[in-house]
Amino acid sequence: MSAFGRVASRIALLAAVLALKPAPGVCKVEHARLWQAYANHFLSADGRVIDPQGGDRTTSEGQSYALFFSLVNNEPTRFETILKWTQANLAMGDLGTHLPAWSWGKGKDGQWGILDPNSASDSDMWIAYDLLEAGRLWSNPRYSNLGRKLVAQIARREVVTLPEVGAMLLPAPTGFRFPNAWIVNPSYLPVFVLDRLASIDPAGPWIGIAVNVPHLVETSSRAGFVMDWVSYTRAVGYAPSILAAPKSDGALGSYDAIRVYLWAGMLDEAHPAKSRLLKALFGMNAYLLNHSAPPEKVSATGQPEKQDAPVGFSAALLPYLRSIPDPDAATRQLERVESQVDEKTGLYGPVPIYYDENLTLFATGWSEKRFQFGINGQVLVTWGHP
């Protein structure tokens, strides 16, 4: 990208972050450029998202996000290619009857295939959401029907009723239920996705889960920082989880938790959950008043570590900072993001990291109004009908 191009894209994105009208055409090109660079670097011709830092593995998360970005960029052919690979390799050929395995790659025997058959409920919901919105925006009943079948599977296999709380989504069908405790992940619960599922399955658990999300974040966060993993026990409630945390670190707010700020920031301004979530997440904004970058890790007591987080964290915080609003903090994080554009790859950072690029794709696309989320969770795009 030329020096002029870098300046133009930065001005356009900053305008969106500060809720000003972006320069005509510039913002749209910026997100489209990043998505194409991402596809060139991480997406195979047959529709597999490859994580180089993860041993070239593929996750259902990566597939779900690629489906979403194909949709909002109006690429039905690419969407279908990604969907076909996902169904064939992660879901035994049918997402309507099998939840997708969360991890696929090269096994110890040298063979490529499913590494862990357990599913990841956030990816399952995102794939269902992608299918439902693709069916609506592209008038494709096959996608709509498949999305509904997947929604029914998630409700049956990944939703539980917590005592004194009600409906809640577990991270997977197995591994997160104990005799007296349940483990949940706040970043698995974007309220707009839950709202959309509730609109097509009003008898399901979705609205109950969505209503419970602010309470989960409010009571499990520490000093205004959300945690990666949270445990729930009867009569005690939510607390940072030791059971699901890496033994070397203990409970943390880090790579999962950063998405909670992103999801909260992208909620429709009129959504009743938004103000509660932003109020509960005050710690990050307070920290950024005196620091140039967000922390990579926050302890279970809400103490940030000194090490700066990677560039994707700064990108993920842009919708959150705009929503508070804090123009100065948003400007500083935007400057950090834009300073790390690699002209050769068109991606962010000297070595493109799969997760960073996904966070940046969400943040730039939303900030540039390439897509927004409506009050009922529907994705709003410039090229589609309401």
Annotated catalytic residues are: 61, 122
Q: Which of 199, 210, 215, 105 is nearest to 144 (CA)?
A: 199
159 by Cβ neighbours in 10 Å (0-12 / 13-18 / 19+) ranks as middle
Q: How far apart are CA 301 and CA 304, in angstroms?
A: 9
- For residues 168 and 215, give the distance between their C-alpha atoms in angstroms, rounded to a whole number: 12
- Residues 6 or more apart whose CB falls under 8 angstroms from that of 20 comprise none
**Is residue 111 within 8 Å of 135, Cβ to Cβ?**
no
**Is 226:282 a contact under the CB 8 Å cutoff?**
no
Contact 39, 81 (CB under 8 A): no
295 three-state secondary structure: strand
Rg of the chain in Å (alpha carbons): 20
**Beta carbons of 9 and 313 less than 8 angstroms apart:** no
Instruction: State the number of CA atoms in the 13 A half-sphere of 140 facing the CB.
Output: 17
Query: Is the distance from CB of 212 to CB of 205 less than 8 angstroms?
Result: no
| Region of residue 63 (phi > 0: left; psi between -120 and 50: alpha; otherwise: beta) | alpha
